[in-house]
A and B are shown apart, each in its own frame.
Chain A
Amino acid sequence: MHSWFGQHTLSLITFIPIIGILLVLSIPKTKETVLKYTALAFATTPFVLSLYVYQYFDLTSSKMQFVEQLNWIPSFNIEYFLGIDGLSLPMILLTGLLSALCIIASWNIKKGLKGYLALFLLLETGMLGVFCALDFFLFFIFWEVMLLPMYFLIGIWGGPKKEYAAIKFFLYTLVGSVLMLVALIAFYLNTDPHTFNLIKLSEPGILVGNQISLFGISLSFHSFKILLWIFLFIGFAIKVPLFPFHTWLPLAHVEAPTAISVILAGVLLKMGTYGLLRISYPILPGETLYFIKDIPLLPLLGVVNIIYGACCAMAQITLPEEKGGNDLKKLIAYSSISHMGYVILGMSAMTSEAMHGAVFQMFNHGTITAMLFLLVGVIYDQAHHRKIDGFGGLATKVPVLTGIVSVAFFAALGLPGLSGFISEALVFLGSFKSTLPGLRTFTVLATLGIILNAAFLLWALQKIFLGTLNTQYENFQDMTKRELITLVPLTVVVIFLGVYPTPMLDLMQRTLNNLLHLMGV
């Protein structure tokens, strides 16, 4: 812990992929295998290091750990401030794991491999940086660093409508970034001394200010803070994505290459909820509670996401292709919207169970949805289409694929014994227990999601894998070793955490209970 290594672990985790970029760029592009293995090594190292962090993480402490703090731009009080707690560590583990698996899943990329790998590594640094950063300015920089490679990865390596999807994703996220930037500057200006330090900003009473006049309307500081909360919220809601800011997601997922869909759904969506928990909740606790208690915006949007996402996912099965349906990847994209709804519902209940459920669901959705997208990739690579109607009876030909798909689908529909169940159940138990007004009703409504999710997932499973074999796929091949390497680890994690969730729950409990305590609930 006290060694140089121990004191700079987080920096290493964050910036090792950058070293990877330099190496990848210096290797000639004809040496594809060397390129891939180099990228794999540098993408995997952060995960290995995060396991080391996990090993030495103090479960009983509510403070930030592995802290690194330097004055970076002293004239603006901008700090290079990294640290992790029980909220960020699960996300870092998830990011590390998925990044490593995604490089393996990208093994077949032919076009511009070098650029792809370099951008991917840059993306990894951005993601890890967001989860490590404790200075709002630094956080924002990593947030933006993440955006750029994502734009190119979708726009260059994507499907037929990639440019449209990439621009849409970019603009949507940019709107969110701009709003976040406004909040960031406002926080900075309304603290004395001015600071971007997220820990200092979370101290009660640090944000002070007077009447503020905007466009000729004078606002009390209280209303101004509510406005800031809304700005931040929209920024994060676009990432989650929450209804009605979600329409970039199905498009981006459908067009993105497999590995990028995995990162998008597995990690990037969590940035939204992570941001809410890291920034909105502790810095603006009163305003957060205002949008839960006085105006039940958060729980309402959570429930809308759960049900609306599931309904739209089901429409993928019943609508023909020309009406925008019949796309397996889009179905899974909408199921993500539904599952992120559980996170929002859990976050807004303000009970220990629901909060644990929400953060655990963030992790579980990351692994489960990654499985789902990887599996769609496996199918697409062979069939070259994703029409739900276009298959049938594959189970006879590909038992292993069917088995893993079943695990993933059942995990997604919340089958006990698999990790998704624990988090969903905790969200439900905690939200129902919550005494905040209306939450019980919302929870009961949300239970509809249990049946809707099961309905479209099993229906899709049936259409693709059960029934008589579509003769077109007489020669459909079962999973290759490489595909198994990407999916088996996730399957193991999903089953292990479903049976024994304690390690993950222990990891987050001190931080989450503390957060609730600080918010006065």
Chain B
Amino acid sequence: MDMIKLSLLIVTLPLIAFTIQILVGKRLPRDGDFISLASIFVSWILSLKLLWNAFSLYDPQLKITKEWLWFDLARFSSDLDIFALKLPVGILLDNVSILMLVVVTTVSFLVHFYSIGYMKGDAHYSRFFAYLSLFSFSMLGLVLTDNLFVLYIFWELVGVCSYLLIGFWFEKRSAANACKKAFLTTRVGDIGLFIGIMMVFTTLGSVSYSSIFEAKASGLFSGVFGTIAGLCIFMGAVGKSAQFPLHIWLPDAMEGPTPVSALIHAATMVAAGVYLVVRLFVFFTPDALLTIAYVGGFTALFAATMALTHQDIKKVLAYSTVSQLGLMMLALGVGAYTAGFFHLVTHASFKACLFLVSGSVIHALHGEQNLFKMGGLRKKMPLTFGTCLIATLAIAGVPLFSGFVSKDQILAGTLSFAYNHPPHSLLAFFGFGASALTAFYMFRLLFLTFFGKPRDEKLYSHAHESSFVITLPLIILAILSLGFIYEKQNWFEHLIQKPQLIAIKSSVVVAPNSETLPIFKKIKEKTKENVDPSATPQDDREVLGDDVKDQPQVAYVEPHKTENEKKAHTQAMVASVFFAFFSIFLAWLFYIQRVIDPEKVSEKYKSVYNTLVNLYWIDEAYQFLFIGPLIKINNFLYKKIDSEIIDQGFIDRSALITVKTAHAQGDFDNTVIDRGVDGTAHTVFSGGLKLVRIQTGQVQDYLKIGLGLVIILLIAFILM
């Protein structure tokens, strides 16, 4: 079977499982969990087969695509010369998407497996698996698509799966709130993504990745227009990958069952934002990339600080996820493309492992999530502890573990970027700061959970190691967090290489509507005048072929293996190892040796502590700045404008005026005119009666009378 057919099968199997589950799942034995499990297992095996193919080809340029027409708005109108949307759906297989497929199916399969134990006995067991299947389908579709429109479709579908799964225990008020918040917050970002798609479509008349790259290579999407388009698309990634300032939904999303947190809110869906930036990497202008780097870097450090003080085991992990995603964004922003995607891959396994560990602990403690009620669990749950230790070492960036390999590359990337662009040294600080804090809070979590004396004897006494269904996925994910898997022959760096734009002559068919939108033209002209040379460094630009030399920057490629980079690499490695060990040591002093009492520290720096515990009051700020005013505006519009002014004020009043006028006219009729009319009528009538005596044939007389009346009324009407 060729690779396209394989990938089609990979996507559709979970969809079939979903359909069966949602329709008849409840009536099947075991509530049909085996259907979802089997489908994702087959998808997983097939993805591994694809990866095997990719390995045997071992070609960085691997690219297989296939397209089918979905709809065509000018299908029967060829004679009219109408330029209309023709939308294909297609599959794009390259090393990035194949690797992503493997990541998604691996974690998804393990989570399915784990859920059989974790969700056992839940009232909606079958629905849970249905949702998991739907999610797997949507996520795989998102990975495989070859155009932005279809990406947007799957992007929203994973969002709705996330909504359904966060709100899985919707009886809890907090869960019901959290799922709504997650959907709406990410939708704010999605608006940006959609505007970005519209900008691409308007410019090119197409939304496929390949046409975007072609256009980019021929010089379109550069300058301010390109930056704005890029940042709009990035806004989608900010929402989905929970970057500042749209990160607020992810910690709340921990209301969902823990396997869901592991799959959706750690390993796959939240990484979709990073994946999007990876996919469209060459599309982003230097300025856009710089913004991405700052957003990512800031988020990485900012979220790490919030993880320091949280008491809920899952929320610590959630902030950690936000922070790690920030690191990936930072990497992509500074041009460390491979490192960014690499970290996505390694992060998926160790973070999924950590979440599943927390699930195992929560399960053992009957739903307790507070770190300060745990402790000493390592003896009771050795397997869980062992896997947690490996994953923690990995995320902390200790050598020999996967996190070290990828994080080291990111830090090296930021550092060399800082060397090349000293004004942006802050980015390196973000990176190092975040990873130092990561090591600290992760070991805080580890120590509080598994070391020391049990803080809650009752909980502790009931604790026990989880069953095989739960520990097996932990073990597999822990193994995947070991460094040697990724280090061998540097296969990752070979397969995932930073895309280069090949300059081509403008062969792209451009929509007749011009390249730059009129609304942006002005901005473009304005900014052209005061370009800050430091913000758009010249030395980083790839020199393209002659025919496009006069066009502005097209791609953003860092210099190859310069002195700076080599220097940065060594320094980064030394520094990151040092920071990791130092932080672990600090955590050890804090939470094992108790040399430093965390409570005293928090007492001493009360304002800082309060800020962190209250998560910088961001939710409150949003409530105050956006949600509150919005509700007030809505109420005002409805109550004042709609009900009072338009409906009662204008419509009803005009009706009332009509009625009153009618009454007035009626009065006028009765008093003034009717009397006259009556008088006339009386005259006519009596005259008629007199005529009756003279003539026969009453009918004609009445007709005459009627006619007379009508004529008189008409005259009265005209006079009015």
Contact = CB atoms under 8 A, between A and B. Distances in A.
A425 B151 CA distance: 13
Contact of A443 (B163, B198, B639): B198
- Tell me the dominant secondary structure on chain A's binding face: helix
Given A435-B513, A454-B184, A429 B638 contact: no
B84 interface: yes
A447 B191 contact: yes
Given A308-B637, A410-B160, A352 B202 contact: no
A440 B638 contact: no
B456 interface: no
Contact of B153 (A395, A417, A432): A417
Interface stretch (A104-112, A179-187, A200-208, A463-471): A463-471
A467 B176 contact: yes
Nearest to B153: A416
B699 interface: no
A352 B86 CA distance: 11
B202 A432 contact: yes
B82 A513 contact: yes
Q: Chain B interface secondary structure, helix, strand, loop or mixed?
A: helix
Nearest to A353: B85
Interface string B148-179: 01001110110010010001001101011101
A314 B634 contact: yes
B171 A433 contact: no
A51 interface: no
A509 B153 contact: no
A59 interface: yes
B647 interface: yes
A516 B82 CA distance: 9
B77 A466 contact: no
Given A316-B638, A415-B160, A459-B180, A244 B650 contact: yes
A432 B77 contact: no
A325 B635 CA distance: 9
Interface string A354-397: 00100000000000000000000000000000000000010110
A177 B471 CA distance: 73
Contact of A323 (B84, B160, B197, B639): B639
B718 interface: no
A466 B176 contact: yes
Given A433-B513, A466-B176, A416 B152 contact: yes
Interface stretch (B66-74, B400-408, B596-604): B66-74
A194 interface: no
A443 B85 CA distance: 18
Contacts of A433: 198, 201-202, 511, 513
B187 A432 contact: no
A421 B153 contact: yes
Contact of A429 (B154, B201, B639): B201
Interface string A390-420: 0001011000000100000010000111000
Contacts of B634: 311-312, 314-315, 318
A330 B508 CA distance: 50
Given A416-B153, A447-B194, A432 B201 contact: yes
B85 A312 contact: no
Given A429-B201, A433-B201, A454-B187, A247 B635 contact: no
B198 A432 contact: yes
Contact of B74 (A352, A451, A466, A469): A352
Given A171-B655, A324-B638, A426-B85, A509 B73 contact: yes
A236 interface: no
A30 interface: no
Q: Which of B190, B197, B651 has the most CB of A within 10 A?
A: B651
B639 A324 contact: yes
A517 B198 CA distance: 23
A219 to B, nearest CB: 24
B519 A451 contact: no
A462 interface: yes
Nearest to B177: A462
A510 interface: yes
B539 interface: no
Nearest to B201: A429
Contacts of A485: none
A458 B169 CA distance: 16
B82 A315 contact: no
Interface stretch (A120-128, A141-149, A292-300, A500-508): A500-508
Contacts of A410: 160
Given A428-B198, A444-B195, A417 B157 contact: yes
Given A244-B646, A318-B635, A353 B71 contact: no
Nearest to A307: B637
Contacts of A501: 71
A514 interface: yes
Interface string A324-353: 110000000000000000000000000111
Contacts of A465: 170
Contacts of B511: 433
A60 interface: yes
Contact of B635 (A248, A308, A315): A315
B80 interface: yes
A312 B198 contact: no
A416 B157 contact: yes
Contact of B638 (A168, A312, A421): A312
Contact of A451 (B167, B171, B188, B650): B188
Interface in A111-165: none
B589 interface: no
Nearest to A319: B635
Contacts of B631: 314, 318
A458 B513 contact: no
A480 interface: no
A38 B489 CA distance: 78
A330 to B, nearest CB: 9
A142 B646 CA distance: 30
A466 B180 CA distance: 11
A514 B642 contact: no
Contacts of A428: 194, 198
B642 A312 contact: yes
A395 B124 CA distance: 11
Q: Which of A428, A429, A502 has the most CB atoms of chain B within a 10 A radius of its CB?
A: A429
Contacts of B74: 352, 509, 513
B517 interface: yes
B662 interface: no
A454 B646 CA distance: 26
B633 interface: yes
B183 interface: yes
Contacts of B183: 454, 458
A144 to B, nearest CB: 21
B650 A517 contact: no
B83 interface: yes
Contact of A353 (B76, B84, B175, B513): B84
A416 B84 contact: no
B85 to A, nearest CB: 5
Nearest to A514: B80
A319 B639 contact: yes
Contacts of A417: 153, 156-157
A450 interface: yes
Interface string B637-649: 1110011001100
26 contacts: A60-B76, A247-B647, A247-B651, A248-B651, A308-B637, A311-B637, A315-B635, A319-B635, A323-B639, A324-B638, A352-B73, A353-B84, A356-B73, A393-B170, A396-B171, A425-B149, A447-B191, A447-B195, A448-B191, A450-B190, A451-B184, A454-B183, A458-B183, A466-B179, A506-B76, A509-B75
Given A393-B171, A425-B194, 18 more contacts: A244-B650, A247-B647, A318-B634, A352-B73, A352-B74, A352-B82, A396-B171, A403-B22, A415-B157, A417-B153, A417-B156, A421-B153, A432-B195, A435-B513, A450-B190, A506-B76, A509-B84, A516-B82
Give 4 closest A-B pairs by Cβ, nearest first.
Answer: A315-B638, A352-B84, A416-B153, A466-B176
